[in-house]
Chain A
């Protein structure tokens, strides 16, 4: 009980997730095949304050729903811990220990830090809860699903649907349970005439109200709203959003509001998280993120939102391509293949660079390269080098010319070629081999920029000295 009183201060966090990962295994059908995983949620940290609405936005398939379900422990995580109503000090200590271990990894299992970690996890983490604790947790959290047509039992009456969680948690006598169910439905805008109907007799908006009433049955502290209005029409959506706002105020609820509809999130949420390909790329106060987006993805996402006003004109950033395959996510920053401002260290793979490199050599766009021998084969040597075998020999002049052309392509906006660090040519009797070395890459981490605004992008995190590319060195010499 003490914990609860401690936590009731306004700034206290109700839930705190660290290093959450969910990998879904894929069955390939082959017995000895290498196990493949969909990296649905990858290393996500987040927290929700008491009485706060946190918006989670992103394109379909970016892991929003998975994260929402993980918060309720409807699926088990691959890694990571979730703390619910734990003292701030314990969580802080846990994070400090994690950081410490990351800096100087533990030598063996006897390390005291590991033992401490395990002790905290066992005592506080939601994923280590036993049956009884889990039942309490289930009472304190609930979810409203996207499609009210499929999340309500068609064979139960409305009042029975709302009474179900009350019965499961032994709320009281039958009369008391139904009394509460009816009052909840009334609070959600469904009068007494509705309680004895079946879900199919209601409209979409009314069904969603039933789902919300059910979620509030055991007066939870945290409710996950998984796209609560995307199946509804705009005029009904407004009714449901108003209801949610009212309920939040009345019951001092915390919401994790998952939606792909950015304007709705802006209307509802105080804090928001932007997710891309399983990672959180930006987080902060909703107004700040909307008025001053930092991550290139957030910028593009916000500029793509159609504004219902013909007078508002703004610059639109049209992204190329689509959300990447999460079985083999792009290395480094996962957004780099679509990013309009990607540069050297964003994680270009030899394969990506090889593709653009070969197309530059072969396309005939550059007349000076038209006499080059053709590319016979290409192969990846290691994660920062690749080879191109040519069908003939290259002279020193050709190499200079290739370097010049690559530099020109970069200045014309060929982003993949920015990763080229050095080009070498080896000669043999069969033909020359071009060896291309790439810049080292680093995955961006979520870093604080200002206030509470965090972003995972190399553009904003502490600028380290970038290594000069060969071209730049040559320029300096000249």
Chain B
């Protein structure tokens, strides 16, 4: 599908030299009446472009909070105390210290209300990135979709917020196209099956690159025949926008996707707004349709007009994925995307994500408590325990040479598919209370290999390039690299 192919071309051009996502010494706390909960404590990791990084751990170990911190969606009671999050060249935590000062009095208690407007202004800046460069698939598709809006409206919302350029380009390109220019493609399409590169070259020849998505979508449809496809392609130039809309669009394009100053007043008045950006809204719906077809939504055209409650769990999750893909993000965060689904539907969704990975080449931060799911899809895995990242390893390393006692215990406690054991190995005890976590290593209260050194905080030990562990057991003390 062209939608994805273009991303690939684009991605090749601008692969950043450094890592795509760099989280450095992240610490998130929640202030409650009973005390401060240290939800995330010094978490650092990196993700390369196109890589799938899995975060695995038990309930309450800080997996989701890490993801939310990357999206800068930490709930109101939480504070990112320190740490840096870099997305490529962008610092997502630029205002951290400012925010931190604003919401913290000397005593350490939160004073939110007074500085609300200032905080809002700061979070407005992050809105430009959120949903555009990073987007997220949430765990519960029912609660994360809005029940009072149709699916079509919700998917196109992201496009209208971040993808005005894309939409405008599509309309302008359709207007620029004429029957003569498209003749070659129509002829070629009726003669043989076109490949993506062929189409790309032909369109570049006549200067209609922006039509690529639309034509490729028609060509890759499976529900219509060849004759119908040719008819649809030759119809494209006949769907012209009004001249007045075109002037608006070209101005919009010049101002880089923001509503131009002279139109802002019109944009404020409801019925004029409809007249102004109606064409864009229609176009967004069309793109939504393409996106939904791309995520294998059965009967996508009708689903656009349906409400979330009319869809089944798997279909809702597909809508979520379509929304997350709308702006073609560099980083996709999937927070337990299959935990609420049945195994057969889970297999469908994992297959879809794998497909996305192959075609989009986008990086996925995949969070799950199920090691099985993690091993199906991830390249590298981070294991979290009580707010700490205790081990990071390549997927195969994790299963063959897990180092941290917690990782070993976790792997031993799951019933395996192939083998029959009378009793499972267990990790005694439960996750500690994070208001007053054990001093030193947080796992030491449950660890079976605990010794006197564990009462001090263990340093991060990089065993090899891809394998790191947070434990005293490995390496000599002089090898330790303190961060």
Q: A242 at interface (Cβ–Cβ under 8 A)?
A: yes
Complex CA–CA separation, A263 to B421 (angstroms): 12
A371 to chain B, nearest CB (A): 11
Structural contact, B372 and A308, CB atoms closer than 8 A: yes
Q: B224 at interface (Cβ–Cβ under 8 A)?
A: yes
Chain B hits for A412, CB < 8 A: none
Structural contact, B344 and A241, CB atoms closer than 8 A: no
Q: Among residues 340 to 373 in chain A, which have CB atoms less than 8 Å away from a CB atom of chain B? A: 359, 363-367, 370
Complex CA–CA separation, A234 to B373 (angstroms): 13
On whether A301 and B343 interact (CB within 8 A), knowing A234-B414, A237-B413, A366-B225, the answer reads: yes
Q: A59 at interface (Cβ–Cβ under 8 A)?
A: yes
Structural contact, A245 and B413, CB atoms closer than 8 A: no
Structural contact, B344 and A301, CB atoms closer than 8 A: yes
Binds A, one of B172-180, B265-273, B425-433: B425-433
Structural contact, B375 and A308, CB atoms closer than 8 A: yes
A473 to chain B, nearest CB (A): 30
Q: A321 at interface (Cβ–Cβ under 8 A)?
A: yes
Q: Which of A235, A236, A305 contacts B343 (CB 8 A)?
A: A305
Closest to B315 in A: A322
Q: B8 at interface (Cβ–Cβ under 8 A)?
A: no
On whether A308 and B430 interact (CB within 8 A), knowing A241-B424, A264-B415, the answer reads: no
Best-buried of A300, A306, A318, A364 by chain B (most CB within 10 Å): A306
Structural contact, A266 and B415, CB atoms closer than 8 A: yes
Binds A, one of B64-72, B242-250, B287-295, B346-354: B346-354
Interface size class of B (residues with CB under 8 A): 35 or more
Structural contact, B350 and A306, CB atoms closer than 8 A: yes
- Cβ contacts A221-265/B at 8 Å (1 or 0 each): 000000000000111111101100110000000000000101110
B343 to chain A, nearest CB (A): 5
B262 to chain A, nearest CB (A): 47
Q: Which of A205, A300, A308, A363 contacts B225 (CB 8 A)?
A: A363
Structural contact, B426 and A364, CB atoms closer than 8 A: no
Q: B58 at interface (Cβ–Cβ under 8 A)?
A: yes
Complex CA–CA separation, A198 to B427 (angstroms): 24
On whether A321 and B298 interact (CB within 8 A), knowing A234-B58, A266-B417, A316-B347, the answer reads: yes
Q: Among residues 284 to 342 in chain A, which have CB atoms less than 8 Å away from a CB atom of chain B? A: 287, 300-301, 303-312, 316, 318-319, 321-323
B392 to chain A, nearest CB (A): 16
Structural contact, A318 and B348, CB atoms closer than 8 A: yes
On whether A364 and B417 interact (CB within 8 A), knowing A307-B375, A309-B399, A310-B399, the answer reads: no
Q: B236 at interface (Cβ–Cβ under 8 A)?
A: no
Structural contact, B348 and A306, CB atoms closer than 8 A: no
Q: B166 at interface (Cβ–Cβ under 8 A)?
A: no
Q: Which of B227, B351, B431 contacts A364 (CB 8 A)?
A: B227
Complex CA–CA separation, A206 to B428 (angstroms): 12
Q: A6 at interface (Cβ–Cβ under 8 A)?
A: no
Structural contact, B225 and A365, CB atoms closer than 8 A: yes
Complex CA–CA separation, A319 to B424 (angstroms): 32
Structural contact, B415 and A235, CB atoms closer than 8 A: no
Complex CA–CA separation, A210 to B426 (angstroms): 19
On whether A59 and B430 interact (CB within 8 A), knowing A237-B413, A267-B415, A364-B224, the answer reads: no
Chain A hits for B414, CB < 8 A: 234, 238, 263, 308
Complex CA–CA separation, A308 to B419 (angstroms): 12
Q: B201 at interface (Cβ–Cβ under 8 A)?
A: no
Q: Among residues 193 to 230 in chain B, which have CB atoms less than 8 Å away from a CB atom of chain A? A: 223-228
Chain B hits for A310, CB < 8 A: 375, 395-396, 399
Q: Which residues of B contact A (CB under 8 A)?
A: 58-59, 223-228, 298, 312, 314-315, 342-348, 350-351, 369-376, 395-396, 399, 409-411, 413-418, 420-428, 430-431
14 more CB-based (< 8 A) A-B contacts, given A307-B376, A365-B226: A233-B58, A235-B427, A238-B424, A238-B425, A239-B428, A242-B423, A263-B417, A307-B417, A308-B417, A311-B399, A319-B347, A363-B224, A364-B227, A370-B227
14 contacts between A and B (CB under 8 A): A206-B430, A235-B413, A235-B427, A238-B424, A267-B424, A303-B347, A305-B343, A305-B417, A309-B399, A311-B396, A312-B418, A316-B351, A364-B228, A365-B225
